[in-house]
Amino acid sequence: MKFFVDTADVDAIRELNELGMADGVTTNPSLIMKSGRDIREVTKEICDIVDGPVSAETVATDADGMVAEGRELATIADNIAIKVPLTWAGLKACRTLAGEGRMVNVTLCFSANQAILAAKAGAAFISPFIGRLDDINLDGMQLIADIRTIYDNFNFKTNILAASIRSANHMSEAALIGADVATAPPDVIKKMASHPLTDKGLDAFLADWEKTGQKIV
């Protein structure tokens, strides 16, 4: 499973990329706002850091507006994936942009029916939102499983990009189900390395080593 980093924090992206933990990046208007930077400037810097897809989101609500914005965003770098919402207008924009050979990430997916439509429209990525479904007492992971089954049944090429990830457990569950990609904030990816038994074991090893009075260097 590929890791995309869900942030516009270039320092965090750079750190994860150097560790091989950033196969791509996803941004959205909220993350751009949090960065406090110009969308073109920060998106270009991110695209220069990572080799994989960098999702940049349109903000128009009509298809023609999304297409125009998508074409403009695509001029920032060759690895831009244009992000459009899963609305009827978004599907129209996806079809047009994908037909021009551009990567399109269809976002805000909350049902298997929506995911089928995105695949038919030529989306490179479909972004089902796990955490937001969990927030309303629906099973976000079940949606990932349903989309995986449907896409496999009909050999759809659209990548399942598990989004709205809130925990390290979400990452492993998405991998077990077979999501192609998971996008998560930097702190969630880092938390995947944490385990209380690892900490306990390390403390014991260090305590025993100190008793030896030895040094390695």
86-122, pLDDT tens digit by residue? 999 999 999 999 999 999 999 999 999 999 999 999 9
Q: What is the pLDDT of residues 142-184, one digit of tens each?
A: 999 999 999 999 999 999 999 999 999 999 999 999 999 999 9
Residue 39: pLDDT band by 50, 70, 90 thresholds? very high
Nearest 5°: the CA angle 70, 84, 1 is 110
% of the chain residues with pLDDT over 70: 100
How far is 67 from 175, CA to CA, in rounded Å? 32
Q: What is the pLDDT of residue 61?
A: 98
How far is 59 from 47, CA to CA, in rounded Å? 20
Residue 191: pLDDT band by 50, 70, 90 thresholds? very high
Q: What is the pLDDT of residue 124?
A: 98
How far is 121 from 18, CA to CA, in rounded Å? 35
Residue 134: pLDDT band by 50, 70, 90 thresholds? very high
% of the chain residues with pLDDT over 90: 100
Q: What is the pLDDT of residue 122?
A: 98
Mean pLDDT over residues 26-54, rounded? 95
Nearest alpha carbon to residue 90 among 116, 72, 64: 64
- The mean pLDDT value of the chain amounts to 97
Domains identified in the chain and CATH numbers: 2-212 (3.20.20.70)
Q: What is the pLDDT of residue 93?
A: 98
Q: Pull the structure tokens for residue 160.
A: 């399942």
Percent helix, strand and coil across the chain, each to the nearest 5: 55, 20, 30
Mean pLDDT over residues 36-48, rounded? 95
> Which residue in the list 2, 83, 200, 211 is annotated as catalytic?
83
Tell me the H-state helices in 19-160: 29-35, 39-49, 63-74, 88-99, 112-120, 130-135, 140-154
Q: Does 34 participate in catalysis according to the annotation?
A: no
